[in-house]
Amino acid sequence: MKRILVLIWLIGIADLSIGYCQSTSVDRAAFFNDTSTIQATLVTNLDKILSNHRKKDNEVPGVFIYSQPDGQKITNPVTLRVRGNFRLQYCLVPPLKIKFNSNDSSVLHLLKTLELVSTCKISNDFEQYLLKEYLIYRIYNLLTEKSFRARLLRLNLQDSAAKKKPVYFYAFLLEDLKDLAKRNGYKEWGKGNIKSSAIDRQQVAMVSIFQYMIGNLDWGLSPNHNVKLIASLKDTTGGLNIIPYDFDYSGFVNAHYAVSNDEELENVKQRKYIGLPRTLTELEEVLVIFKQKKSQIYDLVNHFNLLTSKSKKEITDYLDEFYDMIGHSDKVKLNFVPEANQ
């Protein structure tokens, strides 16, 4: 019976694949510029994805299907690679990398390989955690172009062996680092750890203040923890930029499993600045951007209707604390300038 089900699944893939040449290939830039939620289905062997026996870097074949705005269904064979450390052990759905079929006749082949960030467990609380983390990426997009774009999915995860029931949850795809770098006139930098003197001073201040705003201590320049590096194509003497990602341990998300990695702090909602030392003048040049974008940030939160009223209030209250602080020079000195704490 199992072999019959697998055969039916493979025949279904072949039938759906006939439509590849009937549509224009999806452009990666346009795909991530679109902020609408994709209704998608991912068919794969769930025993190899959801079971306790799954292993990191395991590759599992599957099919990715999504509906375009005009109602047309796009189908693409994919290969899934299991990722993660903490989430691999703790979560029902582990982080995955989706490699789209590279055949030029497939509609989605230009997407190549993308990271899929999924809700950790299937519950209302974990759904809100995922949506909050997605929102953080959107907020950072408002502050700087040197940020990962994300595309939200409502995902129907189906078992190709027909043994497990379908699982429905929100997830999002992350833009590839090479694309982020290219649209900013940069390239991916993969030469290991970096010296602080090689980093663009204003840009690292932007990242550090943003991490403070969302209450995230789960990052660092050494050993490049939850940050990626890009280098300018024009300035070969320095000016490296850091691109942050992975925000589920932030106070903004406030997941119940998140714990602060600073013994002085009682919980993740307590903020602490861990950026490189900067003068008050340098900091205020960056804080101007946060102030200019304040109304857009609040609008983004308040109009994100997938969040509950409770989540919206928690987020806006948390942002209120940040904006109240940066509105007073003495508080900025106290929180951001080391000398002020001596």
**Last residue of some domain: 149, 175, 201?**
175
Q: Both tokens of residue 38?
A: 């994709």
Same domain, 161 and 221: no
Are 170 and 240 part of one and the same domain? no
Per-residue pLDDT of 125-158, as tens digits, reads 999 999 999 999 999 999 999 999 999 999 999 9
Q: Residues 202, 229, 207, 289: what is their CA dihedral angle, to the nearest 10 degrees?
A: 60
> DSSP label at 249?
T
Phi, psi of 5 (to 5 degrees): -65, -45
How confident is the model at residue 103, as a pLDDT? 65
Tell whether 255 and 203 lie within a shared domain: yes
Q: Collect all residues with Cβ–Cβ distance below 8 Å to 76 and sequence separation of at least 6.
A: 20, 63, 64, 65, 100, 101, 106, 107, 108, 109
Residue 268: inside a domain: yes
Q: Are residues 140 and 30 in the same domain?
A: yes
Length of the chain: 342
Are 205 and 310 in a shared domain?
yes
Q: Are residues 279 and 167 in the same domain?
A: no
User: What is the mean pLDDT of each successive set of 10 residues along the chain, which is 342 residues long?
Assistant: 44 42 73 94 91 76 87 88 80 90 75 93 96 98 98 96 92 96 91 73 95 96 87 77 96 94 93 92 96 98 98 98 96 84 43
Q: Of 175, 194, 216, which residue sits at a domain end? A: 175
Within a domain: residue 8? yes
Residues 156 and 191 in one domain: no
Asked if residue 138 and residue 190 are part of one domain, the reply reads no
Q: Which among 110, 140, 175 is the end of a domain?
A: 175
Question: 200 and 314 in one domain?
Answer: yes
User: 328: burial class by Cβ within 10 Å (0-12, 13-18, 19+)?
Assistant: exposed
Q: Is residue 180 part of a domain?
A: no
Say how many CA atoms lie within 13 Å of 125 toward its Cβ.
5
Q: Which residues contact 266 (CB under 8 A, 6 or more apart)?
A: 260
The pTM for the full model equals: 0.91
Looking at the fold, whether 168 and 190 belong to one and the same domain comes out as no
Number of domains, the chain: 2
The answer on 227 and 108 residing in a single domain is: no
Same domain, 74 and 96: yes
- Give a yes or no: residue 264 inside a domain: yes
Q: Between β-strands 167-174 and 227-232, what pairing exists: parallel, antiparallel or unpaired?
A: unpaired
Contacts of 195 (CB under 8 A, 6+ apart): none
Show Cβ contacts of residue 276 under 8 Å, excluding neighbours closer than 6 positions. 196, 199, 204, 205, 208, 221
In tens, the pLDDT along 64-89 reads: 998 877 778 888 999 999 887 777 77
Q: Containing domain of residue 213, as a range?
A: 185-341
